[in-house]
Amino acid sequence: MSRLRVGLLSNPTAALGTAHRVGRQVAHLLRLAGVSVVDLSGPSASVARARAVEVRDTLTALVVVGGDGTVSLGAEIVAGTPVRLGIVPAGCGNDFARSLGLPDNDPEEATRILLHALSRPVVSIDAIELTAAGEIAPAQRSLALGNVNLGFDALVNARANTSSRAHTVRYTAAVLRELPAFKPFPYWISIDGGEPADLDATLLTVCNSGTFGGGMRIAPGARLDDGMLDLVTVSGLGRAQLLRFFPRVFRGAHTDLEEFEVRSVRTVTVGLRHGRALRAYSDGEPRSLLPVTAAVLPGAVRLLADPAAAGPRKTGDRL
């Protein structure tokens, strides 16, 4: 283990500062195991990114301590490189960590899993590349490992991010606040380079892991290593039906509803035909305004995880 050099990046603000404390604990545990640890944490994501990129070529792995936003930052840093990404969940939602079966609020066990994975074969997973697609849009690019939210779920995400409540509670509260004034969005959508088509939908989500909102299993069959994304649409639900829909999503018991549809795609471009501006969210973080393009990057991230963590195999996509 003495030849291993691991970068450690913790989010100083995640979970009201808890992640910073957990990061120090993880660094101590790694050093006890004989791993060389370099702390790359910074006061902002841009500073942490710059520090990590500067030493990336010297690292065996990059371990991130925080929530989904910190995980996606880590993915952007290591994507396409031999550096492996380790995750210690210490945020509010921890949805991507949950999809991998990683323990929540147990840094010792999470670190043990990382150390075990360092001696195991490499696990490669897909990522989602999100870019602005408008004619005058800036060249913005971000990566996500979990999901890209493009509908009512994006509005809820935006409102939930302003709340100080526990993640699941604040997500539910945000649903209730957004619901009274909500109307389906008038999208145009192009799949895998095809001609744009009109679509009116309530939810529109591009999934890699299929879990968001504090454990909602919007795409229970999603797999992280199949080179495809799951495009989830929910159409034709009234407000009362939508209110009953979300509790079913926590159990993954919504997939038999006629209003629910999922298809496998490699790339999708989504815009609005008219109406209000809408900002995409990915892994809980605000991204570009629509139109945006989400594309799969097969095997882009090497993960410190058990090989089975990529998820269940899909058993017949509903088209």
- Considering only CA atoms, which of 235, 224, 137, 138 is closest in space to residue 186? 235
Q: What is the pLDDT of residues 215-255, one digit of tens each?
A: 889 999 999 999 999 999 999 888 888 888 888 998 889 99
Q: Strands 61-66 and 84-89, how do they pair? A: parallel
CATH number of the domain that residue 292 is part of: 2.60.200.40
Q: Which of 49-58, 87-96, 97-106 has the highest mean pLDDT?
A: 49-58
CATH number of the domain that residue 78 is part of: 3.40.50.10330
Residue 199's pLDDT is 96
pLDDT at 308 over 80: no
151/248 same-domain check: yes
Range of the domain at 15: 5-119
What phi and psi, each to the nearest 5 degrees, are found at residue 218? Answer: -65, -30
Average pLDDT over residues 51-74: 96
Instruction: Name the pLDDT band for 61 (thresholds 50, 70, 90).
Output: very high
Three-class secondary structure of residue 297 per DSSP: strand
Helix then strand count (H, E) for the chain reads 8, 18
Q: What percentage of the chain has pLDDT greater than the value 70? A: 90
Q: Is the residue at 231 inside a domain?
A: yes
Residue 243's pLDDT is 83
- Considering only CA atoms, which of 231, 260, 235, 238 is closest in space to residue 248? 260
Q: Is the residue at 71 inside a domain?
A: yes
- Mean pLDDT across the chain: 89
